Structure 1
Amino acid sequence: MTVRLLVSLVGALLAATATHAAETVPQFGTYASLDRPRGTLRGSVILLPGGDGRLGIRPDGTITALLGNQLVRTRHAYVARGFATLTLDAAASPAQAVQYMRSIARPVILVATSRGATRAPAALSARPDGLVLTSAMLDMFQASAGSPGALPRTLVIHHRKDGCRVSLPALVDPFIAWAGGRARAVWLSGGTDRGDPCQAAGHHGFAGLDAQVVSQVSAFAGSLRVSR
C-alpha cells in the first residue's frame, strides 16, 4: 500500500468517525443533507454546489449526484473539523437554510462554488455571518445582488489558472473592488487539470487542492466573531 493511499484511507476513516449519519431536514424535504460532528460545534457551513445543483438526495440524506463537485466531495472534511454542514439541492431555499443553521451553531457560513454562486444572493436577506465564493461566477453574482451593501464578510477563493470561461481569474479584482472592503481574495496554484475546464477534475474544481480549500474556509469561519 502506498503512503498516499494510506493517508487517504486514514483521512476518510477519521472523517467518517467524526460524523453522525447524514439526514434530511424536514423543512427542506429531500433537498438538503445535514451532517453534524460529535462534540462541540465550531459553527455551521451551508454548501451550494455548482452545475445544475441537483443532488439526488435520498430520504436518509444520502447524496447520489454531483459527487465529484468540490463542495460535495469535501463536505465531510468540514464535519471532521467541527462544523455542521448542510448541503443544498438547487430546489432548497438558501435564505431558509441560513435561518435553520443559525439555530444549530454560529457562525453560519455560506459557501458557494461555480454556478452555485448565482444562488447565493438569495441568502443575503437572512444575513449569514460569512460568505465564501470559490471558482465563482462573480459577475453573475454581482448582477443578481445588485449592491454590495448586504454582503457579510466575504472570502473569494480562486485558482490562478482557472480556465473556465465563466469564472476567469480576471473577474476577481473587479469583484473585490465592487465589494468595497467587504471581501478579500485568496489565490491557489498547482493541483491537477484534466478534462473540461469548467468541471471538477481541473483547476476550476481545485483538483488536488481540496485540503487547502477546506483549510482556508475553516480558518475564515474561525476568524468570525458573532454576537450570541
Structure 2
Amino acid sequence: MLTARMAHSCALAALQGVPGAAALAEHAIRALEGKLHDEQHGGWFGADPATSDDRTKQCYIHHFVALGAATATHADIPGAAALLEEAIGVIDTRFWSMDEQAFVESFSQDWSELSDYRGGNSNMHGVELCLALADVRDEPLWLDRALAIVERLIHRHAAPREYRIIEHFHGDWSEWPEHNADCPDDGFSPYGATPGHGFEWSRLMLHLEASLQSRGRTVPA
C-alpha cells in the first residue's frame, strides 16, 4: 500500500516539477514490478512474501497499484505504462463484478477462493481509481463504474441512514454492522464506521460530479 501510494504521490510531485520526485516515483514502480508482484499467479501481495505470511490478493492493494501506475504514466515515469496495463487487466478480470456493479474484496493467492465479504473502503478507493483512469485513459467506462459504486454505497445504503457511511457487507451486499466487533482496531476493516471516510466520499463525489459535467453527462441529484 505504501509503495503504491508513494508512486502516486511522487508522480504528482514530478508533474509539479519537484526536484527528485521522478526518481522516487520510478523507484516505486520498480518495487511494484519486483518482490511485491506474484510472478506465479499474477497480481500483487500486500507485503514482501519473504517477511509476511499473508498471500491473499486484496482489491484495496490492487487499486493502489493501478492508481500509482496511472499517475506515473501521466508523468512519463519509465515502466509505469506497462505496469498500468497489467494492473488494469487484473482488476478487470478478477475484482470488478459485472453482476454486482462493484468491486469484490479478496481472493486466495491462486484466485481459487473469493472472500464472502464486500468492503465499502475498497470500493471507495475504487472510485478514486476510476476517476483517475477516466482522465489518464479518456475512457468513459471508468466514470460509469464510479457512478455505479456511488449509487450502491451512498444512494442505496448511506442515504436512508442520514448519509452515514456503511463500511461492511456480506458477499450478497447485505449490511454487516457487527463485522470485526471483536477486533475494533483492525488496520483495514475496523469495526463500525471510519469518520474520515465521509470526507473522502464527499470529495470523490464532487470529483465525479465535475467529471461527468465536463463531459456533458447528466449528474444525479
| TM-score, length-scaled by structure 2 | 0.32
Structure richer in strand, relative to its length = 1
Question: Higher relative CO (CA 8 A, sep ≥ 6), structure 1 or 2?
Answer: 1
| TM-score, length-scaled by structure 1 | 0.31
Structure richer in helix, relative to its length = 2
Between structure 1 and structure 2, the one with the greater Rg is 2
